[in-house]
């Protein structure tokens, strides 16, 4: 016992100088053989044992870091089945006139701007997940005939997205698919969007370069750092939400859903919610109880060593959730929210990209300051794409209106949590011809 205690306290690394240049035995049996054959005393045995334990701990930590890296890298890819689905549908759009039919049919076009209907907006380049958002919303609605879906996608996904919803009937609801290439924005808006996405890309690049410069031990000390390397970090569709008033100039109110959400309960009362003059209705991350927002405080988003941030924001303030929101676009157009967003992007540019972690939410928290109406936390729970999801009780997951798989482990990926994947996969139409041909399974 004394020898082991002495070995633990001797030297900064706890191994003692005896092992600094000596190869260690690979197993306990080898250690015993080494000790008996060389006739070393108990002190040498203690030092070698301690050195072996330290080495083992280092190997375990290294393996944990590498596993974390691989886990996050796995979140970057597009599954073969989803890639196949887009290709098959694009082919269908080219060959089948039905896949190119108008969305919505001419008799329902007037609903696209009718304020008496409930307008749901989705920005995505993933056909399968778009179908889950739409089908889960319709299935959960008490009045699906009042729903109007507005899906915005990029040019490369447009044909596949259009074909899917043209050949797959959407019961009761009305739906449109628009590609970004179909918008005719003003020169000012075009310049603003290009400037916005370029700064976000620079922020992501800066984060990546800084991580490469750091040592391995520090580089992946925090799992959250790795999420900023995901493609969505600089995705145009991800950041375009700040331009929703320009995307839908004829709408006064919308419900916004991220493509990694699943709707479990009727959203009608959310649509009818009085925002009391505010622009956005948002929940706060209180799945753990009132006044609790683990991992969602401003200190987790912003760099408070910067006087620009510390003089403006509250370190312990709880941030609101982006991904399931109701927006009053009329109220938004009367504010300078988008201009404020751009102002802070330029401040970030001029400050060396050190004001906040990459993502759409940090600058939005500042831009929407004073314009957020707190809604009940039962409307929205986020973070289901992180490993800490196991801390959320089953009753909370069942009772919340919208579950949000924010985080790397999306339910359509192999790294998605099997315990909660069924919340998403139950809304996939596995009997669909294209889904079956592409081998997509739950």
DSSP sequence for 172-197:
S-EEEEEEGGG----HHHHHHHHHHH
Q: Do the Cβ atoms of 51 and 11 come closer than 8 Å?
A: no
Q: 280-282 and 174-179 as β-strands: parallel, antiparallel, unpaired? A: unpaired
Alpha carbon separation from 129 to 166, 236, 288, 424 (Å, rounded): 16, 18, 27, 9
Query: pLDDT higher for 157 or 50?
Result: 157
Q: Given pLDDT bands bounded at 50, 70 and 90, which one contains residue 113?
A: very high
Query: pLDDT higher for 289 or 340?
Result: 340
Q: Do the Cβ atoms of 365 and 343 come closer than 8 Å?
A: no
CA distance 320 to 281: 9
Examine the pLDDT at 13 and tell me if it is beyond 70.
no
Range with the lowest mean pLDDT among 17-26, 43-52, 125-134, 168-177? Answer: 17-26
Write down the domain spans for the chain. Answer: 42-76, 80-438
52: DSSP letter? H
HSE-CB for 16 with a 13 A CA cutoff? 23
Examine the pLDDT at 28 and tell me if it is beyond 50.
yes
| Phi and psi based region of residue 293 (left: phi greater than 0; alpha: psi -120 to 50; beta: remaining) | beta
Q: Do the Cβ atoms of 377 and 329 come closer than 8 Å?
A: no
CA distance 287 to 382: 9
So what's the pLDDT on residue 287?
A: 60
What token pair was written down for 392?
């959320």
Q: Given pLDDT bands bounded at 50, 70 and 90, which one contains residue 33?
A: confident
Most trustworthy range by pLDDT among 67-81, 176-190, 225-239, 404-418: 176-190
Examine the pLDDT at 303 and tell me if it is beyond 50.
yes
Tell me what the mean pLDDT of segment 248-272 comes to.
97
CA distance 350 to 392: 40
Examine the pLDDT at 16 and tell me if it is beyond 60.
no
Q: Which candidate, 151, 403, 152, places its Cα nearest to that of 264?
A: 403
Extract the runs of DSSP E, i.e. beta strands, from 297-359: 324-328
Alpha carbon separation from 159 to 96, 105, 431 (Å, rounded): 12, 17, 22
So what's the pLDDT on residue 254?
A: 98
pLDDT digits (tens, 9 = 90+) for 162-205: 999 999 878 789 999 999 999 999 999 999 999 999 999 999 88
CATH of 80-438 given 3.40.50.300, 1.10.10.10, 3.30.360.10, 3.90.550.10: 3.90.550.10
CA distance 362 to 5: 49
pLDDT, the chain, mean: 87
pLDDT digits (tens, 9 = 90+) for 147-160: 999 999 999 999 99
Examine the pLDDT at 19 and tell me if it is beyond 60.
no
Examine the pLDDT at 89 and tell me if it is beyond 80.
yes
Max CA pair span of the chain = 94
pTM attached to this predicted model: 0.86
């Amino acid at each position: 016992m004394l020898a082991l205690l002495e070995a633990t306290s001797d030297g900064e690394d706890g191994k003692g100088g005896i092992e600094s240049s000596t190869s260690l035995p690979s197993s306990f049996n080898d250690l015993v053989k080494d000790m008996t054959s060389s006739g070393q005393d108990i002190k040498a045995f203690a030092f070698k044992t301690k050195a072996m334990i330290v080495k083992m701990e280092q190997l375990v930590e290294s393996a944990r870091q590498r596993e974390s890296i691989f886990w996050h890298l796995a979140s970057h890819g597009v599954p073969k089945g989803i890639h196949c689905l887009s290709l098959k549908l694009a082919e269908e759009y080219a060959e089948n006139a039905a896949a190119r039919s108008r969305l919505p049919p001419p008799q329902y076009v007037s609903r696209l701007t009718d304020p008496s209907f409930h307008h749901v907006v989705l920005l995505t380049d993933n056909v399968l997940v778009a179908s889950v958002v739409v089908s889960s919303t319709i299935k959960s609605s008490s009045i699906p005939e009042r729903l109007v879906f507005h899906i915005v996608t990029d040019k490369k996904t447009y044909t596949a997205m259009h074909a899917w919803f043209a050949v797959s009937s959407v019961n009761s609801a009305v739906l449109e698919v628009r590609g970004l290439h179909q918008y005719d924005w003003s020169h000012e808006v075009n310049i603003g969007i290009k400037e916005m996405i370029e700064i976000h890309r620079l922020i992501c690049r800066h984060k990546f370069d800084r991580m490469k410069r750091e040592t391995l031990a520090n580089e992946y000390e925090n799992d959250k750092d790795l999420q900023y390397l995901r493609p969505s970090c600089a995705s145009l569709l991800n950041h375009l939400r700040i331009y929703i008033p320009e995307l839908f100039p004829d709408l006064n109110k919308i419900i916004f859903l991220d493509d990694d959400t699943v709707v479990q309960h009727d959203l009608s009362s959310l649509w009818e919610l009085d925002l009391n003059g505010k622009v956005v209705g948002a929940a706060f991350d209180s799945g753990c109880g009132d006044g609790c927002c683990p991992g969602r405080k401003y200190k987790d988003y912003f760099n408070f060593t910067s006087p620009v941030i510390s003089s403006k924001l509250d370190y312990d303030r709880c941030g609101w959730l982006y991904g399931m929101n109701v927006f009053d676009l009329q109220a938004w157009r009367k504010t300078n929210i988008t201009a404020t967003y751009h102002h802070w992007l330029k401040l970030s540019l001029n400050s060396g990209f050190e004001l906040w972690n990459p993502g759409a939410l940090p600058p939005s928290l500042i831009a929407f300051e004073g314009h957020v109406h707190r809604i009940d936390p039962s409307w929205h729970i986020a973070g289901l794409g992180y490993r800490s999801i196991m801390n959320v009780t089953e009753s909370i997951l069942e009772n919340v209106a919208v579950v949000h798989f924010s985080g790397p482990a999306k339910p359509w990926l192999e790294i998605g949590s099997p315990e909660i994947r069924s919340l998403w996969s139950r809304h996939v139409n596995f009997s669909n011809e294209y889904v079956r041909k592409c081998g997509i399974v739950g």
